[in-house]
Structure 1
């Protein structure tokens, strides 16, 4: 796995964790921000051929 792939997958994992935490604490504003970030990261991964396991939220 190259550095880009490892980096983008790590960022996706971190952002998903942050999103889960925001939802658990009821921080709707932060959850919206994290959802947008996650969408951007997944789009970027797709554009570069990085396979991302998408699990429903």
Structure 2
């Protein structure tokens, strides 16, 4: 995996962890912020033809309530 791909993958894991923590704390604003960050990182990966596996991303990245790939 390239350094760029590794960096994007790590940033996605960090954003997901922060989102999950915010969700556990009941902070809907931060959940939205971190979900947006995840969506942005997913677009960045797509723009650079990075194919992140479920293992890399832990789950499909999507807006809350939207199907994967939306």
**TM-score, normalisation: structure 1:** 0.88
* Shift of residue 24, structure 1, vs aligned partner: 0.6
Q: Which structure 1 segments of 5+ residues have no match?
A: none
| Alignment match, 2:67 | none
* Shift of residue 51, structure 1, vs aligned partner: 1.6
Structure with higher RCO (Cα < 8 A, 6+ apart):
1
* Shift of residue 50, structure 1, vs aligned partner: 1.2
| Superposition CA RMSD, Å | 1.6
| Alignment match, 1:47 | 47
* Shift of residue 49, structure 1, vs aligned partner: 1.3
Q: Which structure 2 segments of 5+ residues have no match?
A: 65-70
**TM-score, normalisation: structure 2:** 0.73
Number of matched pairs: 57
